[in-house]
Structure formats: structure tokens, C-alpha cells
Chain A
Amino acid sequence: MTRSRKPKTTVAAHLKRCGVPRRDFLQFCTQLMVAAPWGLAITEKATAAEVAREIGQARRPSVIWLHFQDCTGCSETLLRTSKPDLADLILHVISLDYHETLMAACGHQAEAVLSQAVKDNAGKFVLVVEGSIPTKDQGIYMKLAGKPALNVLKDVAAQAGAIIAIGSCASWGGIPSADPNPTGAVGVDDIIKNKPVINLPGCPPNPYTLLGVVFQFARKGTLPELDELHRPKFAYDRVIHDHCPRRGHFDAGRFALQYGDEGHRHGWCLYKLGCKGPDTHAGCSTRHFNEIPDVWPIGIGAPCIGCTEKHLAFRVPLFDHVPIHDATPPDTYPPVHVSTGSISSAGVGMVGIIGGALGGAAWVAARRFRSSEEEVAIIEANHRNSQKDTPDVGGR
């Protein structure tokens, strides 16, 4: 990092001066297109060459990267590529003016770099915040050069051109904010209210999401369309479940029930192992990690933990099931003989009552006939006895 008062050169010029091969740059641009197929102006409906030209004409964006309560995973993800050259390339296309992990300076020199970088690029630099900010007890639980992180953030953010909160920790608090949240860890947008903050949740998120936003800002000065949680829609508008390569197994009812069982080894759906995919907005299912295809949690057989979602990650137990928001239509075939009709219990009851009533009536009638026969037998006997007295008269 050199102090420079000169305006930044364009990316293309800088790459040429540093002797970075164009093929590597094109590959970088292709990765960017994969990460943002639509929703990003510089990559939308463009070829790799067109994207390369756009980015090449951009002035190297100044990026100031602040670390707070972080694990540095988001920085790692930026550089954890499949090829070391690509990592270098990333550092060439952006001007990472302050990064505690990567810069050589330390101590007072580092403090000086920060204040200088902020002063030199005031109003133009992209502030990337990694890690959550403790707020409890006036934020004493994390200090940078003796200053609470809270104040550092406010000071630097006041001068920033764009603020990006990278990772779940910076977006909504992340791991440090898990119960009981002893330090009062919160995300950036809980502190910075007067400027737009772009959240890129994830643990870690895809690095090309960050780069896409940065280059959009550098080239066009605009930010991509955001959702209600200030996440760029091009990366966070769909849930994993709707783009999961294992969705067919879910729909067909094929689930892995235990790690290592037959279903797990066949790559069946991990929903029953607690996959949070149906409720998690992220692009991991289509943009994998380290530029190696199928290197992402579900791809290697680990159920999604919902690391982008505040209500899921580090809150809902790993093996708990999440609700499905859009039910899959039944793709079944009816059998040749379908059951038809039903037996209503009220009907059975009525028939029973009526049958019983009729049977009872018949029985009562039979009894009355029998008792009348007895009467007749008595009368008959009397009649025979009194036969000699009165002639029988037909009548009366």
C-alpha cells in the first residue's frame, strides 16, 4: 500500500502495468457473471469480454476494510480461490487501502494508514465492514487502538461513499449475537442509520457478490436493487430450496435419514437432517465456493444451516426442520381403481333407528296378536260351553 494523492488509475491500466495476464482477468470476469447473472448492471446480458471492458474502464475502487467481532472468514472467502493467481488478481483489481489482516503495517503505522486512506478518498471509498459491533456498555468489548469499535465505525462510515456489511456478523450480528449475546453485538445497519448499508449475509458469503457490488459502484456509481433487509436481490432473492440440485429427491420423497446411510451416500435430500434450505435466502446452490463445482454445504452432504438468516443461523437447532413455503404440486398418478363414495355415520345411525323402530313395531304387533289369540281361545272355550244355550247369531 503506497500513499498516493494521485487519482486512481483504471483497472485495465493497472493490470497491464502489473503484467497480469488478460486470460486471468477474463476468467475473473466470468466468475463475476456466474455470481451475478442478472440484477447487476455491469454483468447483465453481457459477454465476458464486455464485462472485462466495463471493469477495465473503472477507476480502481478504493476499499477500506474494517474488522470488528469477526473470524476473518469473509476475508478468507475473498481470497480463498482455487488458484492463488486469482487471489492476487482480486487484490489488483481493487485497491485495498486498509485491511488489518493483509496489510504489512501494524501498530501506529496502521492507524496512520487508516486515517490517511479515509482522508484521501473521502466520499469515494467503499467501506466494507466485517464482523459485528458490540454495543453493550458503550461498546468497550472491542477496541481498535483504544477506541471503541462503535466510534471507529461511525467515524469512518461518515466519510464512506458506500457501506457494505459483509458476512452475517456485520449484516445482523452473526455468531457473536447468538443467545445470550453478552456483548450486545449488532450489525452495521443497527448503528449507521443515515446512510444506505448493503448487507451481504452469509457465513461466509460468496466473494463475487461483494466484488459485483463494488464494481457496480465504481463504474456506475449506483448500488444494485435491494430487498427489505437491504440485501442485493441478484444474490438473495431466492431460497436455496427453489434452486437446489437435490430438489428432485425432495419432491420424490427420497431423504437421507442419517449421515452415511444409503440415502446420504446417494446424494438424496437432506431436509430430514435439518436442512434449512427451504427458508434460507442465498445463492450457494448455484454459486459454489472456491470456484470448484459442487463445493458448497449441501453439495458435500452437509445440510444448510441457514447462515444468512437472522432467525435461523445460530438460533434454530441444526436438526430442526423448517417450514416449506411453496408446497410442491403432487406429481402422482391415480390408481386404475379409485375408491369412490363414503359411508356417513349419520346415515348409518338413521337406518339403524328406523330399522330398529320397524322391527320393534313388528314384534309388538306379533305380541298383540298372540295375546288376542289367547283371548280368542278363552272366548272359544266359553262359546263352546255356552253353545247349547243361545244359537249363534251372525252379528253383534
Chain B
Amino acid sequence: MEVTRREALRSVVSKCVPVATAALVLPEARAAETTSQPKAPVGMLYDATLCIGCKACVVACAEANDLPRDVSLDGLHQAPEDLNAFTKNIIKLYKPHDQSPDSFVKQQCMHCIDPACVAACPFKALWKDDENGIVAWEPSRCIGCRYCEIACAYHVPKFEWDMINPKIVKCELCRPRLAKGYEPACTSVCPTHAVIFGPREDLLSQAKERIEQSPNKYFENRVYGEHEAGGTQVLYLSHVPFEDIGLPDVGAAPIPARLNWQKRIYKFLALPLLMYAMLASIMKKNWIDHRREMREEEERTGLRPQL
């Protein structure tokens, strides 16, 4: 059979276009996986060996953020048990039943370098500042889907379950105070400087210095947050295992890296469009056959064909 020019062109196109698209798109998609780093990330260094559990940071945070009284414990006293819709910062106590040492731990947002919550949020309500890397929440964009709560490995974002206009509540490193040149409230009141504020690099080197000066004082002689989940801007030093003070072993890969294949597949919507094109071309061919059969059936039975 003679191959017409049109048919030849069509067959070439139908084979080359997918290959070319894939070849062009995938490297591009691979490159897009690396997320941008903040230019001058700031953070906190919390040294659990220095913390005395005075809870001045809890009080200062509540005051600086104008939070309502958290009386969730007994309805009377301000003694929150966990981060929640009224508490952005909390001191907890790890007290083992045996004679091994106990430790206080300060919990708040870790301000990850590549946050899972930011990757999760469908409308960028949780966003990371390009300059200082603070992860903040924007109320006008949030739809209250709580995907951030699912994604966060540290269980930081909290939802106002009982409100008709619920917010996501979490530490935002006192952005308004930083804008005025102050430190975050918690670091500014700590009497023992257990938690300090500063650029992440400085804090990291300071933490490493402390480890060097007192070998075997700190757990595994390392800083938590240097590499965990791709690095966090809030760093931890502890004398007890990190797991015991609520810092899970999340590995060195950032959590959004798990979406890399999704990003590759959906880059430029190329592969979905390719899939659609393939399906549409098959459908077109089958549709012609189907219409022919419908006509035959109509002739045979006299009934209108059903689609």
C-alpha cells in the first residue's frame, strides 16, 4: 500500500513527539526539584542542658503574640500540656522512670529549610520567607484543609478546632518583633540563655564549638537540625537521646523530596497531556468502529443505539 505523505508525517510525529517531550522535560523537571534556600536564614539554638524549666519563654511568647489564656488543663490555671491553638511555645519535661538523666525540652516550630507544610499547602497559606526563612501563615489564603498538620513531622501546626473562623497557629519567630529590630520574645527572656537567636550559620558554629569544648556531654556529639529533614533553622543540643525529647529521626532528606517524582511527572503538565493525546487518538479510532457498530445494531434491532 502506498504510504501517503500525510500518513508518513503523522506516523513520524506520533513517535517523535513523545520521545522529544520526555527528553526535554525530564532534565528540566529534575532541576526543579532543588528548592530555593533562604538568603539569610535566622533561627534559634536551644541547649537542653542549660534549660531550667522556668517557662519564662512560654509566658513571653503568649504575651508577645497576644494569645488568649490557655486553660485547657483544668479550666482555671494556665498550664498547657501541649502546643495547641492557644500555645505556640511550650516547655515539656522528659522524666524517665529509671535513674537516667531527665531533660526539659522547648517545643515550637522548627522552621525547616525545606518545610513539608509549605510543600503541602495547596494555596501557599504557609509560606517561607525568601530572606530570613521564617515559615509563616497567611489567613487570607488558608482553606483549613489541615494538610500541614498531616505533613509536619514535628506536629507543630495546630488548628483552632472550636472556632467558626479557625486559624492555624504556630510559632512564627515573632516576625513583627524582628521587623522592629528585636529578638523573638522567648529568646529575649531566657534567664540562662538556653535558647538564643541569631543567623543559622552562627548558631550552628556556636553549637559545634560547644560540642568540641565538652566532648561526650551532648548526645552523639551532634546538633539536631543540622541535616535533619534537609536542615531546620531551629537547632537542638541535648544530653539525652533526641527521640526522647520529641525530636524524631526523620532522616537527612527533606520531606518534600518524596514528591519529586510527582513534580517530574507533572512538570509543564507534559506527561499528562501526552497521556491524554495518546488516549484521545486511541479513542478516536475506536469511536469510528463504535459508530459503525451502532449503525449496524440500529439496522438490526430498529432501536436507537445507546451511547
Contact = CB atoms under 8 A, between A and B. Distances in A.
Interface of A: 327, 329-330, 332-338, 340
Given A336-B245, A336-B246, A338-B82, A330 B94 contact: no
A331 to B, nearest CB: 8
A263 to B, nearest CB: 22
Contact of B80 (A327, A334, A335, A340): A334
Nearest to A334: B81
Contact of A335 (B73, B76, B94): B94
B79 interface: yes
Interface in B81-102: 81-82, 90-95
Contact of B73 (A330, A336, A337): A330
A182 B246 CA distance: 69
B258 interface: no
Ranked 3 nearest A-B pairs via Cβ: A333-B93, A334-B81, A329-B77
A332 B73 CA distance: 11
Given A335-B95, A336-B92, A336-B105, A330 B79 contact: yes
Nearest to A331: B79
Interface in B11-41: none
B212 interface: no
A337 B245 CA distance: 9
A333 B77 contact: no
A49 B104 CA distance: 51
A330 B70 CA distance: 13
A335 B79 contact: no
6 contacts: A327-B76, A330-B79, A333-B91, A333-B92, A335-B94, A337-B246
A336 B94 contact: yes
A377 B182 CA distance: 87
B17 to A, nearest CB: 48
User: Which of B78, B80, B81, B105 is packed against the most chain A CB atoms within 10 Å?
Assistant: B81
Contacts of B73: 330
B244 interface: yes
Contacts of B77: 329-330
Interface string B105-149: 100000000000000000000000000000000000000000000
Contacts of B53: 333
Contacts of B7: none
Contact of A333 (B104, B244, B245): B104
Interface in B240-272: 244-246
A38 B190 CA distance: 36
Interface of B: 53, 73-74, 76-82, 90-95, 104-105, 244-246
B74 A334 contact: no
Given A329-B77, A329-B79, A340-B82, A334 B246 contact: no
Nearest to A333: B93
Contact of B90 (A329, A334, A337, A340): A334
B82 to A, nearest CB: 4
Contacts of B80: 334
Nearest to B81: A334
Contacts of B81: 334, 338
Contacts of B78: 329
A334 B82 contact: yes
Given A330-B73, A330-B74, A336 B79 contact: no
A329 B104 CA distance: 20
Contacts of A335: 92-95
A330 B104 CA distance: 17
Contact of B93 (A330, A334, A340): A334
A393 to B, nearest CB: 15
A332 B82 contact: no
Nearest to B245: A336
Contacts of B95: 333, 335
Contacts of A330: 73-74, 77, 79
Nearest to B105: A336
Contacts of B93: 333-336
B285 to A, nearest CB: 31
A339 to B, nearest CB: 9
Nearest to B79: A330
Nearest to B82: A338
Nearest to B55: A333
A143 B219 CA distance: 83
Contacts of B94: 335-336
B85 to A, nearest CB: 13
Contacts of B74: 330
Nearest to A329: B77
Contacts of B82: 334, 338, 340
A27 B80 CA distance: 50
A251 to B, nearest CB: 13
Contacts of A327: 76
A338 B84 CA distance: 12
A64 B253 CA distance: 91
A308 B244 CA distance: 52
B280 to A, nearest CB: 37
A334 B80 CA distance: 8
A306 B73 CA distance: 33
A236 to B, nearest CB: 28
Contacts of A329: 76-79
Contact of A334 (B92, B244, B245): B92
A329 B75 CA distance: 11
A333 B79 CA distance: 8
A340 B91 CA distance: 17
